[in-house]
């Protein structure tokens, strides 16, 4: 996701980065988000947004990438087709890439140049430069011409970097000395599929301690494959980032809801909210902490819960 806000001395880098990953910024400064496809990198980064307005950018983009004048900036290419000539070792203008990110409309699916040594996507990935494509660059250019210099945030899928690579079975239970629900097996013979958006092991240990059979699947695991497993329930786990930046996960949740019982934690809860038509936005302050006592009003029993490093986004 690309979000941006007007340049303002009242906003420091950290604050802008924290607030700009949502679809709209909280407070008096409005922002707009543009969905995109990523060039194989994940994360979030802050920079000034500038345009490269000339036809030659269609094949001189490597010179722009290595021009120190663009250090720390997001370069928006107004030429709609980028990457067709690939990159080579002769067109470097300095010792490395200095820009913070590259924003383009169409990424060429092939390269055609006798000097080409690698594709643009591979070139950026090796240098840890974030790039996005399939963006409405004309709309952003108009916004820049209207409002002037803007601070931008590139925010893409964070969960793919923390998810597992393939499905696996989880069997480990809570260690006996830490077990507080002794001789109870509420979930015996129940099969639970856990989507790993950054799941914590203790969540899996607790499910296993209740007798559940647990299959952990990657964040991009198709809903159709999950339903083929005929699970008794699906859990969408905690995870980093903004649910609006992972629309594929929202679509997965949509396809599963109504077919089997579901529940979510943190990111998973927000994904369920969006899948049901709700919206999420960043709170001014996220909730952080641990060891919160929770009383079961039916029995009077007090359990200690973990409310740690919540993302600070809420669903409406």
Q: How far apart are CA 66 and CA 88, in angstroms?
A: 12
The residue count of the chain comes to 316
Question: Residue range 71-84: average pLDDT?
Answer: 86
Q: How far apart are CA 198 and CA 269, in angstroms?
A: 13
Share of the chain above pLDDT 70, in %: 72
Residue listed under structure tokens 């029995």: 299
Question: Residue range 267-272: average pLDDT?
Answer: 93
- Pick from 89-93, 103-107, 121-125, 258-262 the range whose average pLDDT is largest: 258-262
Between 13-22, 120-129, 153-162, the lowest mean confidence (pLDDT) is in: 13-22
Question: Residue range 211-233: average pLDDT?
Answer: 96
Question: Residue range 273-294: average pLDDT?
Answer: 76
Q: How confident is the model at residue 23 (pLDDT cuts 50, 70, 90)?
A: very low
Share of the chain above pLDDT 90, in %: 28
Is pLDDT at 310 greater than 70 in this prediction? Answer: no
Contact between 30 and 182 (Cβ < 8 Å): no
Per the prediction, the chain carries an average pLDDT of 77
Tens of pLDDT, residues 99-110: 888 888 888 888
pTM listed for this prediction: 0.61
* Per-residue pLDDT at 316: 56
Q: Which residues contact 187 (CB under 8 A, 6 or more apart)?
A: 207, 210, 211, 212
> What are the chain's domains?
2-156 (3.50.30.20), 160-315 (3.40.50.880)
Is pLDDT at 19 greater than 80 in this prediction? Answer: no
Would you state the structure tokens that stand for residue 43, as one six-digit string? 């994360």
Tens of pLDDT, residues 55-77: 555 567 888 888 888 888 888 88
């Amino acid at each position: 996701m690309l979000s941006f806000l007007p340049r303002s001395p009242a906003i420091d880098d950290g604050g802008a980065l924290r607030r700009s990953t949502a679809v709209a910024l909280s407070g008096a400064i409005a922002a707009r988000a543009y969905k995109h496809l990523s060039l194989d990198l994940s994360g979030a980064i802050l920079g000034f947004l500038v345009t490269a307005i000339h036809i030659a950018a269609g094949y001189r983009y490597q010179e722009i990438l290595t021009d120190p004048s663009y250090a720390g900036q997001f370069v928006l290419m107004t030429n709609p087709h980028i990457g067709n000539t690939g990159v080579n070792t002769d067109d470097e203008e300095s010792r490395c890439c200095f820009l913070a990110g590259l924003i383009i409309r169409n990424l060429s699916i092939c390269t055609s140049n006798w000097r080409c040594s690698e594709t643009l996507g591979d070139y950026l990935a090796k240098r840890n430069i974030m790039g996005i494509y399939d963006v409405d660059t004309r709309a952003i250019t108009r916004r820049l011409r209207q409002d002037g210099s803007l601070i931008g945030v590139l925010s893409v899928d964070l969960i793919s970097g923390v998810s597992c690579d393939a499905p696996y079975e989880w069997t480990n239970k809570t260690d006996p000395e830490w077990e507080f629900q002794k001789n109870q097996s509420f979930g015996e013979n129940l099969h639970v599929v856990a989507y790993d958006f950054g799941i914590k092991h203790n969540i899996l240990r607790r499910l296993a301690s209740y007798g559940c059979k647990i299959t952990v699947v990657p964040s991009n695991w198709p809903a159709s494959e999950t339903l083929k497993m005929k699970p008794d329930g699906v859990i969408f786990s905690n995870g980093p980032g903004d649910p609006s930046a992972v629309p594929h996960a929202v679509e997965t949740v949509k396809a599963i809801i109504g077919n089997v019982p579901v529940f979510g934690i943190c990111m998973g809860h927000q994904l369920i909210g969006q899948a049901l038509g709700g919206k999420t936005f960043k709170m001014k302050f996220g909730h952080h902490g641990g060891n919160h006592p929770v009383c079961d009003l039916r029995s009077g029993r007090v359990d200690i819960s973990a409310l740690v490093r919540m993302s600070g986004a809420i669903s409406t």
